[in-house]
Amino acid sequence: MKLQNKVAVVTGGGSGLGREFCIQMAHEGAKIVVADINKKNGEETVKLIEAAGGKAYCFEINVVKTEHINNLIASVLEVFGTIDILCNNAGITGERTKCHQVTEDSWDTVLEVNLKSIFLMSKAIIPIMIKQGGGVIINTASASGIIASAAGVEYTAAKHGVIGLTKQLSYEYGHEGIRVVAIAPGVIKTPLTKQFSNEDGPFHQLTMNAPAGRYGEPIEIAKVVTFLASKDASFIHGHVIPIEGGSTIL
């Protein structure tokens, strides 16, 4: 029970990687706040956690709206009294085409959801962590935050930005007792990536040529996140942890 009585807020916790993060951290004793724009999905995650004996709370949120974020924080503090862990996991894909074909709307939307939301969530929660003497922020970047790929210019730019933001936040708040780290998953088998993780998908050759030679499973990412959220990772600051079967070393 490495996270006993810790309170973890997970954006995008209603499905895919976010759901697995919630389940694994709850398994280690954390009280989970499932923050998702899809309330039905969020409530399903809560049911899964409660069925296993854990504690969870669902909050419907649009992570790019400051008012929603402030309401979330107020509710969490009212219910649990603290926020110890923030997993900035909410994200979307883009148009996956070349730069000159990408629309401004896709660029703006992907950068807003995948990067600006992390800034907004961190900006709002960091003062709480400072006041209580520390906390952990884990940002979901991507292998596309390390290398260029078929993910597209807006997604790749956003995820590179996530890694830069992670380093800057660590630099600014490490001495306040706040650890900030990022993970860089490869293509993981989730509903979001179902259309990509097949032989005709744009990442198949890259994934199969990597040392692991396969797609990842959500639990493989969630176990690393749970470790990073715990005291076992207390000396890891500001780094991005690739969890991609070796695809970024090629």
Question: Of these residues, 57, 155, 173, 215, which one is catalytic?
Answer: 155
Q: In this model, does residue 78 exceed pLDDT 80?
A: yes
Known catalytic residue at 171 = no
What pLDDT is stored for residue 91 in this prediction? 96
Rounded Cα–Cα distance for residues 133 and 153 (Å): 38
* CA-atom Rg of the chain in angstroms: 17
More confident residue, 3 or 200: 3
Strand partners, 36: 60
Per-residue pLDDT reduced to its tens digit, 183-205: 999 999 887 777 777 777 888 88
- The pLDDT tens digits for 12-40 are 999 999 999 999 999 999 999 999 999 99
The answer to whether 248 and 184 are in contact (CB under 8 A) is yes
Q: Which domains does the chain have, with CATH numbers?
A: 7-241 (3.40.50.720)
Give 31's contacts (C-beta < 8 A, 6+ positions apart): 5, 6, 7, 8, 54, 55, 56, 57, 80
